Structure 1
């Protein structure tokens, strides 16, 4: 991996009605970009896209249906922040991360690593198909404690339309500067070792926040 992974997007789960028609507490602050329905036909989204290429995904289970939540990786999540994703220039970068994680003593680190990539996609409102691969964590961690990976199969601009209209927000936001993780003091060392391996840094060299942008 030539450079550290970049933050790709942050995911917020909302009631379906709030994705279909975003409320004023969102629209007064942000420009909402149309998203689409995911290939599994269980969720759909809209986006808040920033000039740095990072975005916030506003996602909902279609019709708030319990059947759509069943067996879904976010099916047990309450509304609010549920997950976040990293990306890199090469999907094979995940192999290097996996290799570093395998070398850790998991008695002193988070017992987690990454599985195999899975294809995903959605159809935009204009009918355009968007495809990607996601690589999810596994182990004794909850979704959102550590990020998953997202790598585009179709051009990234189809998934993330970074244009002047989409990235001009009433609140003036232009990007995501930092991601802060709040962890129990007793587990801080484990998180530091995991994230140092994830980001390709020396253990103990992490700061309170990590940054990343395209």
Structure 2
């Protein structure tokens, strides 16, 4: 799993800038094989158009699969589940065929991956659902989660425990079904208060010794959530990072406002 976080520009967050591109990024890599991507525009957007109008904060996330799965087999399995459950109706959701991407690292090592993005009807948005990103070269070439120095963080975070996705209450059942088809998993009910519902999907991690993780799908519960949906639409709403060696001791947000309020540490 990988999660995108849009930041305002800061030199500390600039990792790569390729001639002609309009953005820069930096990865914060965790020991469980996931990462948080800090992303900022440096020019008029010429790529990642679904992110172009997003205000700073959590904007998107991706799912992956580890060998022996391939990008094509992951795509095929998701599309098969979606088609089987449309009851003969036109697909509201699909995924593009995997597209190859590559770059050369500073040490001349070639990095390759394949990505696939949701294709939706007019009533849905691209970032309502995760995109797919599959490593062609070993994942550690692009995401060095085997490198202790790069995965050791002052806060003690070892990985992503929960990705929280918020969707409109009026379409909760619709989104719950589609997420079930994408993930190939059945959810369990976490909370149900009238129409305020929360479902939890268990998902694996690249480093299986530190998993699994969870995707939590919920509807809006207060005016803050309603403002969020009006401003940003459905999609990733929060992120919980797990702290190694201190499980079961509570959870605390990084801050009380802005981006910090959407990311928590779980002890």
TM class by smaller structure: 0.7 to 0.9
TM-score normalized with structure 1 length: 0.77
Runs of 4+ residues over 6 Å off in structure 1: none
The answer on whether the counterparts of 1:36 and 1:123 sit within 8 Å (CA) in structure 2 is: no
Q: Residue 38 and residue 121 in structure 1: after superposition, are their counterparts in 2 closer, same or farther (change >3 A)? A: farther
Q: Aligned to 2:38, what secondary structure does the other structure show? A: strand
The C-alpha deviation readout for 1:145-184, integer Å capped at 9, x for no partner, is: 2101111122211110111111111111111111121111
Q: CA RMSD in A?
A: 2.8
Q: 1:170 aligns with which of 154, 160, 163?
A: 154
Tell me the CA shift for residue 88 of structure 1: 0.9
For CA contacts below 8 A with separation 6 or more, give which structure has more relative contact order.
1
Q: 1:74 aligns with which of 36, 51, 56?
A: 51
Tell me the CA shift for residue 74 of structure 1: 2.5
Q: Residue 38 and residue 192 in structure 1: after superposition, are their counterparts in 2 closer, same or farther (change >3 A)? A: farther
The answer on whether the counterparts of 2:60 and 2:130 sit within 8 Å (CA) in structure 1 is: yes
Find the aligned partners of 1:121 and 1:95 in 2 and give their Cα distance: 22
When Rg is computed on C-alpha atoms for both structures, the one with the higher figure is: 2
Q: How does 1:1-214 map to 2 (within 5 A)?
A: 8-15=1-8, 17-18=9-10, 20-22=11-13, 35-37=15-17, 41-61=21-41, 64-66=42-44, 68-69=45-46, 72-89=49-66, 90=69, 91=71, 92-105=73-86, 111-140=92-121, 141-162=124-145, 163-202=147-186, 205=188, 208-212=199-203, 213-214=205-206
Find the aligned partners of 2:32 and 2:19 in 1 and give their Cα distance: 27
Find the aligned partners of 1:83 and 1:119 in 2 and give their Cα distance: 20
Unmatched runs of 5 consecutive residues or more in structure 2: 191-198, 207-267
Between structures 1 and 2, the one with greater strand share: 2
Tell me the CA shift for residue 199 of structure 1: 1.6
Unmatched runs of 5 consecutive residues or more in structure 1: 1-7, 23-33
The answer on whether the counterparts of 1:36 and 1:46 sit within 8 Å (CA) in structure 2 is: yes
Q: Aligned to 1:177, what secondary structure does the other structure show? A: strand
- Report the number of matched residues: 190
